Amino acid sequence: MARAIFVLATIVLVATSRPAVAAMFPGHINLVDKQTPVGPADVPHGIFVVHFAAPPAPPTATLDFTGCPGLALDDPQPDPTLVVNCPMHTVTAPVVPVASVGDFEAVFTIVGATPAGVSPRSPSVALLSGGTLPLGPVRVSTYDLDAAGGLNLADLSIWANAYFSGIFAARCDYNADGVLTLADLSVWAAAYGSGLDIVSPVGCLVP
C-alpha cells in the first residue's frame, strides 16, 4: 500500500513538474577513448544527441556525472565545444539549431573511462539537464575499463571477469539492456577494432 502511494505520488509529481522544454534523448551513453593525446574522440562509438523541439530550446545541455563515482573524464575534451567542469563533475554542450529540420540539438561524444581499481559494478547514472531544467537519467558505460593504454586486452579481461561473475556491471553494459551478454562484447569489439580508441582520458576524476 505504501509503495502504491509512493508510485502515485511520483507520477503526480512528474506530471505536475514536467519541463516546458520538450527533449528527446537516449537513455544511455558509452564513453570512449581518443586517437591521440589531443583527440579526436571515437565519435562513431560514443555519439549522444539530445534533440529539442523548438521553441523554446535551452542554450546548453549538461550531463552531470556525480552519480558515477570513480569515473575518469578527459579534461579538456577533444571536442572543443564540450566544457568540463571537473569540481561539479559535469560536461556541457551548446544547443545549436539544426537547419534541415528547424529545431535544435546538443551533440556529445565524451572521452571517459573507469580507472583500474574502480569496480565496473559501481553506480553509473548521469543526470541530463537542458539549461537549468532536469531532463532525466542517462546510464553510463565505458569501453575503457582501466583508464590506461586506450582500448586493450586489459579492458577485455575486466569485461570478461564481470561477465563470468554473473553480477551485473553497468559500466560494461554497452547496449544498455540491463544484462551482460556477448552482444555487449560485440559492441566493445567494434570500438576496439576501429582503432579510434588508442589514448585513455586524463585530467578529471569524479570522486
Residues lying near Ca ion in the complex (CB under 5 A) are found at 144, 146, 149, 152, 155, 173, 175, 177, 184
Q: Measured from the CB atom, is 130 or 201 closer to Ca ion? A: 201
Cα Rg of the chain, angstroms: 18
What is the smallest separation between the CB atom of 26 and Ca ion, expressed in angstroms?
14
What is the smallest separation between the CB atom of 144 and Ca ion, expressed in angstroms?
4
190 φ, ψ to 5°? -65, -40
What is the smallest separation between the CB atom of 133 and Ca ion, expressed in angstroms?
30
CA-to-CA distance for 66 and 83, rounded, in angstroms?
16
> Taking Cα atoms as reference points, which of 57, 63, 51, 65 lies closest to residue 101?
51
Q: Measured from the CB atom, is 119 or 152 closer to Ca ion? A: 152
Q: Measured from the CB atom, is 135 or 147 closer to Ca ion? A: 147
Q: Measured from the CB atom, is 90 or 124 closer to Ca ion? A: 124
What is the smallest separation between the CB atom of 53 and Ca ion, expressed in angstroms?
30
Q: Measured from the CB atom, is 9 or 116 closer to Ca ion? A: 116
- Do 171 and 163 contact (CB within 8 A), yes or no? no
Q: Which residue has the cell 579492458?
A: 155
CA-to-CA distance for 128 and 52, rounded, in angstroms?
13
191-194, long-range: CB within 8 Å, 24+ apart, which pairs? Answer: 191/30, 191/32, 191/42, 191/45, 191/143, 191/151, 192/143, 192/151, 192/152, 192/155, 192/156, 194/42, 194/44, 194/45
What is the smallest separation between the CB atom of 184 and Ca ion, expressed in angstroms?
4
Q: Report the DSSP pairing between strands 60-64 and 90-94.
A: antiparallel
CA-to-CA distance for 4 and 11, rounded, in angstroms?
11
- List, in sequence order, every residue forming a beta bridge with 106; answer none if it has no partner: 50
Q: Measured from the CB atom, is 165 or 177 closer to Ca ion? A: 177
What is the smallest separation between the CB atom of 113 and Ca ion, expressed in angstroms?
7
